[in-house]
Amino acid sequence: MSYASQLLDSYPRTFDVDAGILTAAIDALNDCAQACTADADDDLSEPEVAEMVKCIRLCLDCASICTTTAGVASRQTENDPSVSKSLLEACIASCRSSGDECERHATTHAHCQVCAQACRRCEQACRQLLDAMS
Amino acid sequence: MSYASQLLDSYPRTFDVDAGILTAAIDALNDCAQACTADADDDLSEPEVAEMVKCIRLCLDCASICTTTAGVASRQTENDPSVSKSLLEACIASCRSSGDECERHATTHAHCQVCAQACRRCEQACRQLLDAMS
Amino acid sequence: MSYASQLLDSYPRTFDVDAGILTAAIDALNDCAQACTADADDDLSEPEVAEMVKCIRLCLDCASICTTTAGVASRQTENDPSVSKSLLEACIASCRSSGDECERHATTHAHCQVCAQACRRCEQACRQLLDAMS
Amino acid sequence: MSYASQLLDSYPRTFDVDAGILTAAIDALNDCAQACTADADDDLSEPEVAEMVKCIRLCLDCASICTTTAGVASRQTENDPSVSKSLLEACIASCRSSGDECERHATTHAHCQVCAQACRRCEQACRQLLDAMS
């Protein structure tokens, strides 16, 4: 059981979103942040680094947005849905953009294939959380 | 002249948004992140901390979202407008929410008054950047 | 297999630290960042929030330091050991401080008990990585 | 007057470090984080990006470490000097490393010259804060 799940279990108040969907999103966000941080670095060490510039940039954005979104989603106290929902929208856009670019390199770079997968899973998990909040 | 402005002046490629509007937004985002981080801590040290819980939570969100948005806005290379625009929307929502709550405490806590001002300025600067990108 | 592990497996260059120790540290850092972010929020929602102020503050520090340390440890390209080692030292100090304070509340708050465990594991994993780098 | 300074002025409790030295450090940390984030992106857009890989990596580390250190230094409530001091040491190491590498490119890239200056100022401001805390 992930720490996100354990901590949510012991939250002192109640919250009105499905706990399974919420923890799945938080875990996917943390996974995607880690994958994008590492993939940007893997790209930097490729001999043909000039071809990876777009991938590096989009992965840096995605790592930062996922970490911030994981933080906001982890805070249940006095949650403002107008903030969480618009941030989830931004995170979905970022995961899609980063996932598309990683996929273009997936056949030549195994690290981009792994990162594309993390981005797709995170995009899906954020969309499910957004649907559950509506 | 801020570092955001100096670094943008020496950017090696061209970019298609007004440099003045862009640097004003980056500076306002960094200012707001700092104000919210410090205000959340000021709230924590108030004797009536229980009344400040909502303000703390919204300021933590806003600090993190502003820092991430400043990073994305600072990167011009291979910019994806679908990501930057939706993140600016989320940042505007967060600054509005945090600014509203700080304003409720502005007459009793000087730190909340200062933070409300930083949130309002940042909301406005992000909106101007979003308009300039459309 | 965690994303940290998968991405390290496909790193294009070589690196001179044990891959198992490195991925264990990155995973523990991400876990601890998540636990501290959530625990600070759990503390905020406790009826006796005034008694949790120290715990909130130390968990906010620890979450931020762990996220930054995970990023630095995930980047292998052109690594500067003088930076990584001193940051690991700071992270160990933060995990110890945060773990000690969470432990003080462990019998009354289950979320603090879980967070204390994440801090202890992270402190140990960082120390092992630091030893492996020396 | 910076937001760091305004917020510190309205801090509800007392703190035992010189306010001028503290705000100078927080401002320098935020400036350096901004400079390093933008410089890493400027490097990414250089035609000879392969020569800038080390500079990109060290600037990514420095931006993240400075942002985290600014947050910890901005929090006065229940401050643990063992955490702040070791983090300041790590930040000094990172600013030195990043400043040295930027300086190597200062004659060919104006953005690296600006960033080197931000790193040197931040290193100095952190050292002064560390001395004031001892």
What confidence tens digit (pLDDT) does each residue in C4-42 have? 999 998 898 888 899 999 999 999 999 999 999 999 999
Q: Which of B7, B29, B77 to mutate to test the interface with D (most CBs of D within 10 A)?
A: B7
Q: What is the per-residue pLDDT across C83-122, written as a single tens digit (0 to 9) for each? A: 999 999 999 999 999 999 999 999 999 999 999 999 999 9
Chain D: residue whose CA lies nearest to C61:
D72
**pLDDT tens for the 134 residues of chain D, in order:** 999 999 998 898 888 899 999 999 999 999 999 999 999 999 999 999 999 999 999 999 999 999 999 999 999 999 999 999 999 999 999 999 999 999 999 999 999 999 999 999 999 999 999 999 98
Select from D14, D22, D29, D41 the residue whose CB has the most chain B CBs within 10 Å, as the one to mutate to test that interface.
D41
Above 90 in pLDDT, residue A134? no
CA distance D105 to D51: 10
Distance, in Å, from the CA atom of D34 to the CA atom of D39, rounded to the nearest integer, reads: 8
User: Of B17, B131, B127, B132, nearest to B74 (Cα)?
Assistant: B17
Helix residue ranges, H only, chain C:
3-9, 19-44, 53-74, 81-104, 110-133
Assess: ipTM above 0.95.
yes
How many residue pairs bridge chain A and chain B with CB atoms within 8 Å of each other? Answer: 86
Q: Do D7 and B67 touch (CB under 8 A)?
A: no
pTM above 0.95, yes or no: yes
Q: HSE-up of A39 (CA within 13 Å, CB side)?
A: 38
In a 10 Å sphere around its CB, with 0-12 CB exposed, 13-18 middle and 19+ buried, how is residue C125 labelled?
buried
Identify the pLDDT of residue D134. Answer: 80
Tokens of A98: 């980063």
With CA atoms as reference, report the closest residue to C93 among C65, C117, C113, C71. Answer: C65
Task: At D45, list the tokens.
Answer: 């857009």
- Asked if pLDDT for residue B35 goes beyond 90, the answer is yes
Contacts of B49 in chain D (CB under 8 A): none
> Which of B49, B57, B60 lies closest to C53 in CB terms?
B49
> Average pLDDT for residues B52-68, to the nearest whole number?
98
For chain C, percent of residues with pLDDT exceeding 70:
100
Considering only CB atoms, which chain B residues are within 8 Å of A83? 58, 61, 65, 90, 93-94, 97
- Show which subunits contact C, needing at least 3 CB pairs below 8 angstroms: A, B, D
**Could you say which of A3, A11, A34 has the minimum Cβ distance to residue C4?**
A34
Residue with tokens 């009826």: C47
Q: Do B86 and A89 touch (CB under 8 A)?
A: yes
Length, in residues, of chain A: 134
The DSSP line for A34-103 is: HHHHHHHHHHHTSTTGGGGHHHHHHHHHHHHHHHHHHHHHH--TT--HHHHHHHHHHHHHHHHHHHHHHH
B46 contacts on D by Cβ (under 8 Å): 12
**What is the tens place of the pLDDT at every residue in D102-126?**
999 999 999 999 999 999 999 999 9
Determine contact, residues A83/B90, Cβ cutoff 8 Å: yes
Which residues of chain C does A31 touch, with a Cβ-Cβ cutoff of 8 Å?
2-3
Take residue B63 and report the two structure tokens written for it: 């600090």
Burial label for D16, CB within 10 Å (0-12, 13-18, 19+), is exposed
| Residue D78 region by backbone torsions, left for phi larger than 0, else alpha for psi between -120 and 50, else beta | left
Whether the predicted pLDDT of A15 surpasses 90: no
Please name the residues in contact with D56: beta carbons below 8 A apart, sequence gap of 6 or more: A44, D40, D43, D44
